[in-house]
């Protein structure tokens, strides 16, 4: 009887030993831990956001951009953080917009510089044709002009300024050759200012053509 009990005890001990030191158990534990770590990593990655600036309102080429013109946002950029202006990196004196930045748009670093105001200037032109509905402040347009060759007769139009930026649309400003005109303030490269003013002085017929039409307009 004692021999049998001793045999049973040794069998239990052997079973217990195999259970605690079974490599398959250790492998299972490792797999579970790896799975948990993977899930945690995915969750943390999905929740990783950075703080960058967005335009509080529309910004135009030549505008001085300061902290009051911007608002902070937490967004996921998935490795594109260097493309946008990070929170806290705007110099105290501000920067200058070198292209149009729409209201609410994240501010690209490439859209800001130190001397955009030296490259563009504002000018008001009278447009003798009805404006397309898509033209509004911040729109990018081509300015076309046609010289008058006879009374109320104009020659072939040509592009006077490419990719000008609309600052604002004014009220009806007068008549050209019997047609009502609308004043539009544009930002144009400084090297084209003289040519634009010449066309205005000569009474050339001018039209605006959108470079691109936003969806929904």
Q: Which residues pair with 75 in a beta bridge?
A: 50
pLDDT for 177 = 46
Contacts of 92 (CB under 8 A, 6+ apart): none
pLDDT in tens, 51-77: 999 999 988 877 889 999 999 999 888
pLDDT in tens, 119-155: 788 899 999 778 888 888 878 899 999 998 888 788 9
Is residue 181 scored above 60 in pLDDT? yes
Maximal CA-CA distance, the chain: 132
Given 3-state DSSP classes, what are the helix, strand and coil percentages for the chain, each rounded to the nearest 5? 30, 35, 30
pLDDT in tens, 89-103: 998 888 888 778 889
Q: Could you tell me the CA-to-CA distances from 56 to 35, 42, 69, 103 in Å, in that order?
A: 43, 33, 6, 6
SS3 47: coil
pLDDT for 173 = 56
Q: Which of 116, 113, 131 is nearest to 172 (CA)?
A: 131
* Residue tagged 């000018």 (tokens): 123
**Residue, of 2 and 208, whose pLDDT is higher:** 208
pLDDT band of residue 214 (cuts 50, 70, 90) is: low
For the chain, domain boundaries: 2-46, 50-116, 119-210
β-pairing verdict for 179-189 and 158-176: antiparallel
CATH code assigned to 50-116: 3.90.1210.10
Q: Are 138 and 217 in contact (CB under 8 A)?
A: no
Q: Are 160 and 189 in contact (CB under 8 A)?
A: no
SS3 30: helix
């Amino acid at each position: 009887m004692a021999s049998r009990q001793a045999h049973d005890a040794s069998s239990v001990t052997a079973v217990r030993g195999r259970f605690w030191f079974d490599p398959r158990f250790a492998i299972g534990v490792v797999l579970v831990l790896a799975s948990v770590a993977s899930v945690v990593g995915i969750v943390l990655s999905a929740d990783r956001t950075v703080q960058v600036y967005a335009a509080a309102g529309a910004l135009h080429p030549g505008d001085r951009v300061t902290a009051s013109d911007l608002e902070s946002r937490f967004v996921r950029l998935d490795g594109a953080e260097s493309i946008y202006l990070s929170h806290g990196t705007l110099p105290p004196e501000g920067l200058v917009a070198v292209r149009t930045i729409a209201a609410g748009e994240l501010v690209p670093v490439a859209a800001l510089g130190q001397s955009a105001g030296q490259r563009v200037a504002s000018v008001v032109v009278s447009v003798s044709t009805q404006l397309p509905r898509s033209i509004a402040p911040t729109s990018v347009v081509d300015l076309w002009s046609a010289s008058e060759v006879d009374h109320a007769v104009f020659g072939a139009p040509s592009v006077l300024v490419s990719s000008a930026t609309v600052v604002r649309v004014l009220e009806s400003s007068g008549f050209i050759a019997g047609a009502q005109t609308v004043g539009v303030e544009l930002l144009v490269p400084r090297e084209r200012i003289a040519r634009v003013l010449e066309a205005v002085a000569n009474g050339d017929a001018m039209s605006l053509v959108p470079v691109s039409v936003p969806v929904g307009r």
